[in-house]
C-alpha cells in the first residue's frame, strides 16, 4: 500500500541553525501539507501546496519557513533559523485531489532545538 515517507525520523539542531525536513508524498497525489504537533498539544496546520505553489498558510508559517518541491517526488520544509519553540513533531501529508479528501500522514520528523 502506498505511503508517505519522511526523513529524518529525528533531527537535533542548535538554535539559529537551518534545518530541512524531507517528505515523499504518495506518488499520484496532488495536494501536499505540513503540520506540526508540539508535545502534548493538538496537530496544527502549517502550509498546503498545490500545482507548485503555496495554496494556504497559517500564521505560524512566517518568513523563517519555506516549502519546495524540488523534483517530481520530494516535498521539503525548511526552517531558516530555528528557535526553541520550533521543537515539535512535523508531519507531512498528501491527498489525492478533487473528489478524494482524506489526507494521509507520514510518520513524522521529531525536531529538537537545543
Q: List residues near another protein by CB under 8 A.
A: 31, 33, 35, 41-45, 48, 50, 55-56, 58, 91, 95, 101-108
Q: Which three-class secondary structure state does DSSP give residue 40?
A: coil
Is the Cβ of residue 45 or residue 76 nearer to another protein in the bound state?
45
The β-bridge relationship of strands 109-113 and 10-13 is parallel
Q: How far is the CB of 33 from another protein (least distance, A)?
A: 7
Q: Which is nearer to another protein, 13 or 30 (CB)?
A: 30
Closest CA to 32 of 49, 45, 57, 54: 49
Amino acid at each position: 500500500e502506498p505511503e508517505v515517507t519522511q526523513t529524518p525520523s529525528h533531527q537535533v539542531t542548535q538554535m539559529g541553525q537551518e534545518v530541512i525536513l524531507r517528505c515523499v508524498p504518495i506518488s499520484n497525489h496532488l495536494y501536499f501539507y505540513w503540520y506540526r504537533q508540539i508535545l502534548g498539544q493538538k496537530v496544527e496546520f502549517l502550509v498546503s501546496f498545490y500545482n507548485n505553489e503555496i495554496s494556504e498558510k497559517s500564521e505560524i508559517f512566517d518568513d523563517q519557513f519555506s516549502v519546495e518541491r524540488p523534483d517530481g517526488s520530494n516535498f521539503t520544509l525548511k526552517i531558516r533559523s530555528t528557535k526553541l519553540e520550533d521543537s515539535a513533531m512535523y508531519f507531512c501529508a498528501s491527498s489525492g485531489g478533487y473528489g478524494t479528501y482524506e489526507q494521509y500522514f507520514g510518520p513524522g520528523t521529531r525536531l529538537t532545538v537545543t
